[in-house]
Copies of this chain bind each other. A is one copy, B any other.
Amino acid sequence: MSMVETKTRILDAAEGLFARQGYLGTSLRQVTGEAGANLAAVHYHFGSKETLLQSVLERRLLPLGAEREAELNRLLVRMESGEVVEVETVLEAFIGPTMRLCESSARGAEFSLLVGRILADPGGPGQEMFAELVGPNIELLLRALQAVLPDLDSELLLWRVHFCLGAMSHSLCLGHLPGFQGLVPQSVDTQTVLGRLIPFLTSGLEAP
């Protein structure tokens, strides 16, 4: 029996393969091959391919979401007691946990690619799961930003938050875009991404 449990090995393999190849582009035989597990083990531990995807997403997004929620709630509390909070502080609270995940391991960075895939796959198996897991975070972000930018129309704010999500999601995929040879920045470590993304988004959100 390996040090790492079969279940975890399957999750790790699935996460990586779903991220690199997409959900439909990944067969369970590929997952089990990489995990050194048996096909029936997937069904024993997870029941179905789709439930495996759910588990892959929850494993990352539940703790990430909790972290974001905690950070954003702290900011809301501070604002309620009269403290002035900057847009970029709110953005960091939302984006920071994702960046730290990317930084913590290559696997974490790969997960962001899976998120990008899911965002671009309406009607696909991951999107409703994702919306359910991340929706509350987005709502909290909207509330926090609205508090910081009280004069900004709420519909426009919603639009701008989506622009932010798009920019963020795409930038986290940049390290994985070999098709864009020569049109991809050299350095794609997460600190660099954050250092460039936040000012861009801050200015965008504060635009007249």
Which residues from chain A sit less than 8 Å from chain B, CB to CB?
20-22, 24-25, 113, 116-117, 119-124, 127-128, 130-131, 135, 138-139, 155-156, 158-160, 162-171, 173-174, 176-187, 193, 196-197, 199-208
Report which of B138, B177, B185 forms a contact with A183, defined as CB distance below 8 A.
Answer: B138
A–B pairs, 23, beta carbons within 8 Å: A22-B124, A24-B24, A116-B119, A116-B120, A120-B120, A127-B179, A131-B179, A135-B182, A156-B196, A158-B183, A159-B171, A159-B193, A159-B197, A162-B167, A162-B170, A163-B167, A165-B170, A166-B168, A166-B169, A166-B170, A199-B207, A203-B204, A204-B204
Q: Which residues of B contact A164 (CB under 8 A)?
A: 167
Q: Which residues of B contact A159 (CB under 8 A)?
A: 171, 185, 193, 196-197, 200
CA distance A165 to B168 in the complex (A): 10
Beta-carbon nearest neighbor of A156 in chain B? B196
Number of copies: 2
Closest Cβ–Cβ distance, residue A182 to chain B (whole Å): 8
Q: Which residues of B contact A181 (CB under 8 A)?
A: 131
Q: Which residues of B contact A187 (CB under 8 A)?
A: 155
Besides A120-B173, A158-B185, A163-B170, 13 other CB < 8 A contacts? A20-B122, A20-B123, A22-B121, A24-B25, A113-B122, A116-B119, A123-B179, A139-B183, A155-B187, A159-B185, A163-B196, A169-B170, A204-B207
Report which of B167, B193, B206 forms a contact with A167, defined as CB distance below 8 A.
Answer: B167
Instruction: Give the interface SS of chain A, mostly helix, strand, loop or mixed.
Output: helix
A131 touches B180 (CB 8 A): yes
Closest Cβ–Cβ distance, residue A205 to chain B (whole Å): 8
Q: Which residues of B contact A127 (CB under 8 A)?
A: 177, 179-180
CA distance A173 to B155 in the complex (A): 17
